[in-house]
Amino acid sequence: MATGIVAVALREAGWPVTSRVLLGVAAFAYVVLVALYVTRAVRHGRRMRRDAGNPETAFGYFTIVAGTGVIAVGMQGNGFDGLSVALLAVAATVWLVLGYVLPWQVLMARDGLPILARTNGTWFIWSVGSQSLAVGLSSLAPANPRSADLVGILTVLFWSVGTILYVGIAVLVILRVVHHGITPQQFEPPYWVAMGALAISVVAGASIVDMGPAPMVDAARGLIGGTVVIFWCFAAWLVPLLVGAGIWRHAIHRVPLRYSPSLWSMVFPLGMFAVASMRLGRVEHLPLVETIGNGFLLVAVLAWVLVAAGLVTQLVRGVRGARGQHA
Name the pLDDT band for 147 (thresholds 50, 70, 90).
confident
Q: What is the pLDDT of residues 170-198, one digit of tens each?
A: 999 999 999 888 899 989 988 999 999 99
Angle of helix 264-283 relative to helix 215-247, nearest 10 degrees, comes to 140
Residue 327 has pLDDT above 90, yes or no: no
Name the pLDDT band for 231 (thresholds 50, 70, 90).
very high
Task: Compute the distance between CA of residue 102 and CA of residue 108 in angstroms, rounded to an integer.
Answer: 10
DSSP letter assigned to residue 252: I
Rounded to the nearest integer, the mean pLDDT of the chain is 90
Q: What is the pLDDT of residues 19-60, one digit of tens each?
A: 999 999 999 999 999 999 999 999 988 898 888 888 888 899
Residue ranges of domains in the chain: 2-319
Residue 111 has pLDDT above 70, yes or no: no
* pTM of structure: 0.91
Residue 161 has pLDDT above 90, yes or no: yes
Q: What is the pLDDT of residue 322?
A: 67
Residue 163 has pLDDT above 80, yes or no: yes
Residue 18 has pLDDT above 70, yes or no: yes
Q: What is the pLDDT of residue 245?
A: 93
- The mean pLDDT of 272-292, rounded to a whole number, is 95
Q: Among 32-46, 232-246, 310-324, which is the least confidently predicted range? A: 310-324
2-319: which CATH topology? Glycosyltransferase (1.50.10)
Q: What is the pLDDT of residue 145?
A: 72
Name the pLDDT band for 227 (thresholds 50, 70, 90).
very high
